Chains A and B, each alone.
Chain A
């Protein structure tokens, strides 16, 4: 079998930051409008986060990155790469990363690109940043997973398509609050979910999104990572899985041998929905907020199309001070302004004057 991925130089996370918009749309609003509440007992999430009228993947990435910088406490101009993974970049052509870098004051000596791999674009950026720092091309790189996902009105995905994400500053292991032990990426051509150019909403393969897509790919990346590192699920203090709804991450955790205790932090979908490329990176911020030095933590993304990236990190004593320097992920989850479907429809440009 192929070996676990690990850069030559030891690297890790030196700063992380979350962002979730303040607005929430209860799933019952969608259920009442489209199904007269007939599915009220089977809703995939309780509510989802909705971006404000003036928010997008760029503005949300800025706040997450600012939080990551507060925790990293480095000279920000030493960041030499910025990658933003998203399926909702505001421009079709014009990088999100350059705007974010300009706002952060880390231009012009920097490399920047936007990444796209459905819900796995954020961990894809983390892989690239790990390789970049791990090879010595630069000491620090910024990887962001962020989305303002859209579901077609009345579609099953409308319940969950949400907004939020996280930023990670990858740097040398000596400065890290969590050191990378290894990663594993697992990809096949799977048409479970896609959006063609110029289309506003994605198409999905209904039941096809489960076993051959989500479960197969996460099982692939996690199993091979654990085999390669010679680890058991019980070696981990916590695990985060991509969360398109409340059920899938709990089911995959159980299938792979993780307990509900191990996934209690970072399981955010019930409260904010599916933040797509932001989902597993955001879950990891919540896990880090509650972690202790010595904890081993697993993160496994899933992106349609399809693939999964799995990482194992070991938390260091630097976590203690770092956590306090920026708002906790639960602070963002806790602040909440409920909106109704009509406001949601206007803000998300589903209706226009």
Chain B
């Protein structure tokens, strides 16, 4: 694992920290240096609420090594309430129950362990909504 990178990106992974353009209001995740809409470099941090709907999904059976211990698992595209589409893993939902348009919410889970001695990477995943 690239520990400096993990450390640098922790607020993105833990809190869906993106950017809000101060000139046109455009929201981006992951955060971009230049606003894709108006090319402005004026922005502030924006923390996405972490609720959205499933735009598409698929289930991975042959996983890369670091995800082998959780396979099979589902990944997909999620339309956040704020209107930004992101990629994430799903959790706590059997593949056959995952549906396009399903309301989902962010939770923090282990993404992978870097072997038995390395650090544990935590980050967002999405599950069917249970919170009030």
Contact = CB atoms under 8 A, between A and B. Distances in A.
Interface of A: 22, 52-56, 58-59, 62-63, 67, 70, 90-91, 99, 102-103, 105, 324-327, 331, 335, 337, 353
B108 A62 contact: yes
8 contacts: A54-B70, A54-B110, A58-B120, A59-B107, A59-B122, A90-B120, A99-B122, A327-B130
Given A53-B69, A91-B120, A353-B68, A59 B110 contact: yes
B70 A53 contact: yes
A103 B69 contact: no
Contact of B109 (A22, A55, A324): A55
Interface string B3-30: 0000000110011000000000000000
B94 interface: yes
Contacts of A59: 107-110, 122
Contacts of B15: 103, 105
A77 B125 CA distance: 24
Interface in B47-98: 47, 68-70, 91-92, 94
B130 A335 contact: yes
Given A103-B14, A103-B108, A327 B122 contact: no
B111 interface: yes
Contacts of B132: 70, 324-327
Contacts of A62: 107-108
Contacts of B94: 337
Contacts of A91: 120
Interface string B29-43: 000000000000000
A70 B105 CA distance: 15
A3 to B, nearest CB: 41
Contacts of A103: 14-15, 108, 122
Question: Which 6 A-B residue pairs are closest in the complex by CB-CB distance?
Answer: A54-B109, A103-B14, A54-B110, A53-B70, A62-B108, A59-B109
Nearest to B112: A54
A347 B47 CA distance: 32
Contacts of B47: 105
Given A105-B15, A353-B68, A22 B108 contact: no
A310 to B, nearest CB: 31
Contacts of B11: 102
Given A54-B91, A102-B10, A103-B15, A331 B130 contact: yes
Interface string B99-132: 0000000011111000000001010010000111
B111 A54 contact: yes
B102 to A, nearest CB: 15
A4 B111 CA distance: 45
Nearest to A99: B122
Contact of B14 (A54, A102, A325): A102
B130 A56 contact: no
Contacts of B92: 22, 52, 337
A335 B129 CA distance: 12
A4 to B, nearest CB: 36
A56 B68 contact: no
Contacts of B14: 102-103
Contacts of A337: 92, 94
A353 to B, nearest CB: 7
A99 B11 CA distance: 11
Given A62-B107, A67-B131, A327-B132, 15 more contacts: A52-B91, A52-B92, A53-B70, A54-B110, A56-B120, A59-B122, A63-B107, A102-B10, A103-B14, A103-B122, A105-B47, A325-B132, A326-B132, A337-B94, A353-B68
A79 to B, nearest CB: 16
Nearest to B111: A54
A327 B107 contact: no
A58 B122 CA distance: 9
B112 to A, nearest CB: 9
Contacts of B131: 67, 70, 326-327
Contacts of A353: 68
